[in-house]
Amino acid sequence: MEITSTLFAAKAIYIGLIFAITLGVAAYSTYGERIVAAWMQDRVGPDRAGPFGIFQPLADAVKMFMKEDFIPANSSKWLFIAWPCLSMLTALLTSAVVPFGDKLDLGGGIEMDLQGIDVNIGILWVFGIVSLGVYGILVGGWASNNKYSLLGAIRAASQNISYELAMGLSIIAILMMTGSLSTKVIVETQQNGAGFLSWNIWSQPIGFVIFIVCAFAECNRTPFDLPECETELIGGYHTEYSSMKLGFYLFSEYINMFVSGAVMATLYFGGYDYPFNEVVEAQFGQNIAALVGVGALMGKALFFVFVFMWVRWTLPRFRYDQLMNLGWTGLIPISMFNVVWTGLSILIPTTFNLPAWASIVVSWSGIGVLLIGLIIYHGATSKKKTVALAH
């Protein structure tokens, strides 16, 4: 595509908009988090700042800025200041490859993808940036020159690295089906006609469960919010942080939530695809259809943000050994199984000339096979209950 000045300007506006939307959504997720928490606990929630408390994020930000910005004397000052910013940066960078919508017709034969940049390694980009995000926490904790911060940072790092493996393996199954790393292509393969029935979730149920669990761990959200712990670590990796530097860390968590929601929607729920988009396109034109698609993706991403909060206010956290156990002996073997079974679900219909739905049947039968395997494994590993005497 030739880059014209119109396209350049439109792209610049688009990127600015995406930044604004991501930041705005993240800001309002803090409000949403509190409202969701309140409603789930039969409370009212924040309602003091403005009508229904909608200026609460503003009040929080003002509070954060007004706090004393303290830098410990023996900390590594440069790193201490730089790494919250890096944390924020990596959180924002991921949204560059998420396709927020279909092509927009700018007139004069110029079409613009509603996507920051369509690199052919889109998903790898996401993974690269996400694993960079670990450094935001790790170095931030190290630079504080505080044992507890360091412990929290190490926890965060080992947790993120452990769950990245299972996450990567669950992505491999998607890549086997689409044959491309480009997020755009992944969405387009999910768009072929059958409405939401062609979304990847139908052929990748196990993969999706693994991915969402890993996304929880990557965002350091409950039940995997081990890096923050008041009883064991005083505060976690951000014990020494205050004012807006702490705010950046907390804020990047919310950005991560939104972006991982968007990535999940892209990979498993058809991205900007929505039912009857052909009808909308024929009726109202390409631009309206694309904008509705943006709305669809936003809706899906926000739903996942809600799920993140929903889970947070439902579950207690795992113990650290349970977390590691689940990651290494639970999710990684299952995601390996998922890769193998996805291979089967691709191979069987092509070998035996079966229709396309056969691959979905095979995929879902994978859950059955997995359950049978788990039952056998459980029978083999669970110890017989010993009868304890009452003396």
Partner 1 sequence: MNLSNRTKVLEQEEMTLSERIYLPAILGGMATTLKHFFQKPATIRYPEQTRYLGPVYRGMHILKRDESGAERCTACGLCAVACPAEAISMVAEERKKGEETLYREEKYAKVYEINMLRCIFCGLCEEACPKQAIYLRHDKMAPVFEDRNEVIFGKDKLVEKMDQRYLRDGWK
Applying CB under 8 A, the residues found at the interface with partner 1 are 36, 38-44, 47, 209, 310-311, 313-315, 326, 374-375, 378, 382-383, 385, 388-390
Nearer to partner 1, 43 or 63 (CB): 43
Nearer to partner 1, 109 or 379 (CB): 379
- Residue 111 pairs with which residues in a beta bridge? 105
Nearer to partner 1, 283 or 365 (CB): 365
Residues 6+ apart with CB under 8 A from 84: 136, 140, 241, 245, 246, 248, 249, 252
Nearer to partner 1, 74 or 383 (CB): 383
The distance of closest approach from Cβ of residue 59 to partner 1 in the complex, given in angstroms and rounded to an integer, is: 17
State whether residue 292 is helix, strand or coil. Answer: helix
Cα-to-chain-centroid distance, residue 335: 17
Give yes or no for a contact between 174 and 231, defined as CB atoms under 8 angstroms apart.
no
Q: Where do the DSSP E strands lie in the chain?
A: 101-105, 111-114
Nearer to partner 1, 194 or 376 (CB): 376
The distance of closest approach from Cβ of residue 205 to partner 1 in the complex, given in angstroms and rounded to an integer, is: 12
The distance of closest approach from Cβ of residue 379 to partner 1 in the complex, given in angstroms and rounded to an integer, is: 9
The distance of closest approach from Cβ of residue 38 to partner 1 in the complex, given in angstroms and rounded to an integer, is: 7
Other beta carbons within 10 angstroms of residue 289's beta carbon come to 23
Would you call 380 exposed, middle or buried from its count of C-beta atoms within 10 A (0-12, 13-18, 19+)? Answer: exposed
The distance of closest approach from Cβ of residue 218 to partner 1 in the complex, given in angstroms and rounded to an integer, is: 18
The distance of closest approach from Cβ of residue 39 to partner 1 in the complex, given in angstroms and rounded to an integer, is: 5
- CA-to-CA distance for 260 and 214, rounded, in angstroms? 10
Nearer to partner 1, 107 or 385 (CB): 385
- Residue 114 pairs with which residues in a beta bridge? 101
Cα-to-chain-centroid distance, residue 64: 26
The distance of closest approach from Cβ of residue 382 to partner 1 in the complex, given in angstroms and rounded to an integer, is: 5
Would you call 16 exposed, middle or buried from its count of C-beta atoms within 10 A (0-12, 13-18, 19+)? Answer: exposed
Nearer to partner 1, 44 or 161 (CB): 44
The distance of closest approach from Cβ of residue 310 to partner 1 in the complex, given in angstroms and rounded to an integer, is: 6
Nearer to partner 1, 5 or 383 (CB): 383
Give yes or no for a contact between 342 and 363, defined as CB atoms under 8 angstroms apart.
yes
Give yes or no for a contact between 271 and 183, defined as CB atoms under 8 angstroms apart.
yes
